[in-house]
Chain A
Amino acid sequence: MFKRRHELAGATVNVVIEGASLTVAAGETVAAAALAAGLDHLRTTPVRGAPRAPWCMMGVCFDCLMVIDGVPNRQACMTRVRDGMTIERQHGARGFPS
């Protein structure tokens, strides 16, 4: 959905987005990495299962909620990528560990 203007230069990290291993720029937000990775939606909604992607990119809309390192309900636009991070779509409302 979004593309980098320039090739990845400088520090990079490896993350796993929806099961696929990817190299992304260190310090990038998870939302940016997900959009550049070609994800056309970051979550599906609790009420209707509708696909959603970011609206505000600044932490007020909460439409970018993803499961990051196994923790649900994390705002992807407010979370920086880290080496080895797992990033998954959140489907519906957050789950709770049993």
Chain B
Amino acid sequence: MSGRYDLVVVGAGPAGLAAAVEAAGLGLSSLVLDEQEAPGGQIYHAIEAAADARPDDVAVLGEDYRYGAALVRTFRAAGVAYRPGANVWQVEGDGSLGYSVGGAAHVVSGRRVLVATGAMERAVPLPGWTLPGVMGAGAAQLLLKSAGMVPEGRVVVAGNGPLLLLVAAQLVAAGAEVAALLETTDWRDYRAAARYLPAALRAHHYLVKGLALRRTLRRAGVPIHSGVRDLAALGDGRVERVRFTRGGRSREIAAATLLLHAGVVPNTQITRQAGCAHEWYAPQRYWRPVVDAWGNTSVGAVMVAGDGGGVFGARAAEIGGRIAALEAGRALGALTERMRDRRAAPLRAGLRRERAIRPLLDHLFRPEPWIAAPTDDATVVCRCEEVSAGALREAVALGCLGPNQAKAFTRCGMGPCQGRICGLTVAEVIAAARGVAVAEVGCLRIRPPIKPLTLGELAAIEPGDANG
């Protein structure tokens, strides 16, 4: 099999799957690489296995999850070359790419490389957040999707964002004991976001969904506390209690599991490593790669589609994947510019509709400053190297201006996750300590390999042969 493709897609979530199907329809030779064992990304994680063996779990997870089954079926039927379990460790601007499957490393190249690696939950650095039993709300949802599991004992769900409500409601339907939902959102957030409501009415189905979720929780008797502050996880060796303040009063709730969520942010590991330009998106306090309307980045053959280019949700990701494939088709001579534009036009209308809800959501669920940049000195910022916010601030006092210097001083960002989890927090803490904008502080320099790669694997790559 030749190691050179027209299009190499990294990521088998909605953007990657839709792009691959579209590209196949255009006659482009395509390869999809994904680190998961089955297609679907995170949003449709394990949809094939769940639909096949655990229909009750699919019912609990809802129609938005079930929708993925058809997309995955279409992808399978398109017969695109596909490598599950593939960890991409390097992507270069000329389209060359290194990845490993089952301990064997390969080099492959695409005339275009579409990075569709999506997003991840924002870190929620709170006192005690590294205790066992504290995890992302999305993580609990993934356990339900992939293994049909729910937390044992009392669960508290805390933070802000649409996923918080959704996961709480899904857990209730799945039989978990949701003791409380603690949301940082309060009436001030609604007032600030009100001006975005008219535009959001174009995607009113999302609004209706949100109200229905709250109703479901209230009917199930789940207490919802709004406007909470000063969240903390307490316990010996694992989380046992959750502390919070509300209306000036401090309270504690017993919990065996604490699910935290404070929004979703693009996973920029590959686009950073490839040297793409990024921009700061202030309303949601995250970096995203600079892309044009077709998904082209600032670097050569590298394109982006889906939440990795900015969080707009699964349906928008699917449409964005198709638009990027059309552009790849144009760039590679399979389509004229006019044909590309004509085929993209109805997609763009759909994309506008899907994106219409975003300004409201992004402003209603703004990341809390006290979560983005923890003020308590003991709070762990870098989970891997166990570096606290206080240690980071000391480094700033010693003269560290940005994350790379701070990394040299404290090891923040040197651990296995290579700054995926701590990167944004490090920038926020440094910016707050220096009294400058986060965008000015910059970000961690990401170098390959971005996923673990042994010397043995690297040495075993056949020289001069891109054996994809």
Interface residues of chain A, those whose CB is within 8 Å of chain B, are 1-6, 9-10, 25, 27-29, 32, 35-36, 40-41, 45, 47-48, 50-63, 65, 73, 78, 80
Contacts and interface: CB of A to CB of B under 8 A. Distances in A.
Given A35-B143, A56-B121, A57-B135, A63 B383 contact: yes
Nearest to B135: A55
A25 B152 contact: no
A51 B238 contact: yes
A14 to B, nearest CB: 17
Contacts of B267: 60
A28 B54 CA distance: 13
B410 to A, nearest CB: 11
Interface residues of B, number: 49
A60 B147 contact: no
Contacts, number: 123
B399 interface: no
Nearest to B385: A47
Interface in B258-275: 267
Contact of A1 (B57, B148, B256, B385): B256
Interface in B14-59: 35-37, 42, 45, 49, 53-54, 56-57
B139 interface: yes
Interface in B103-145: 120-121, 130-136, 138-140, 142-144
Contacts of B57: 5
Nearest to B153: A1
Contacts of B45: 58
A4 B420 contact: no
Interface of B: 35-37, 42, 45, 49, 53-54, 56-57, 120-121, 130-136, 138-140, 142-144, 146-152, 174-175, 237-238, 256-257, 267, 383-386, 415-417, 420-421, 452
A58 B148 contact: no
A3 B152 contact: yes
A41 B238 contact: yes
Given A51-B132, A63-B383, A2 B452 contact: no
11 contacts: A3-B151, A5-B150, A27-B37, A40-B237, A54-B139, A57-B136, A58-B45, A58-B120, A58-B142, A60-B120, A62-B415
B386 A2 contact: no
B149 A5 contact: yes
Contacts of A32: 143, 146-147, 149
Given A10-B53, A28-B146, A35-B143, A1 B132 contact: yes
B118 to A, nearest CB: 9
Contacts of A78: 35-36
Contact of A25 (B136, B147, B151, B256): B147
Nearest to A65: B416
Contacts of B139: 54-58
A47 B386 contact: yes
A63 B142 CA distance: 16
B136 to A, nearest CB: 6
Which of B138, B148, B267, B420 has its CB near the most chain A CB atoms (within 10 A)? B148
A4 B138 contact: no
A56 B237 contact: no
Contacts of A27: 37, 49
B174 A55 contact: no
B152 A2 contact: yes
A52 B130 contact: yes
Given A5-B57, A60-B267, A60-B420, A40 B238 contact: yes
A54 to B, nearest CB: 6
Given A5-B150, A55-B139, A58-B138, 19 more contacts: A2-B143, A2-B151, A4-B148, A5-B57, A27-B49, A28-B146, A32-B143, A36-B149, A41-B237, A47-B385, A47-B386, A55-B136, A56-B135, A56-B138, A56-B139, A57-B143, A60-B120, A61-B421, A65-B416
Nearest to B416: A62
Nearest to A74: B452
A50 B237 CA distance: 8
B257 A4 contact: no
Contacts of B138: 56-58
Contacts of B131: 51
Contact of A29 (B134, B146, B150): B146
Contacts of B420: 60-61
3 pairs of A and B residues whose beta carbons are closest in the complex: A53-B132, A62-B416, A57-B139
B147 A40 contact: no
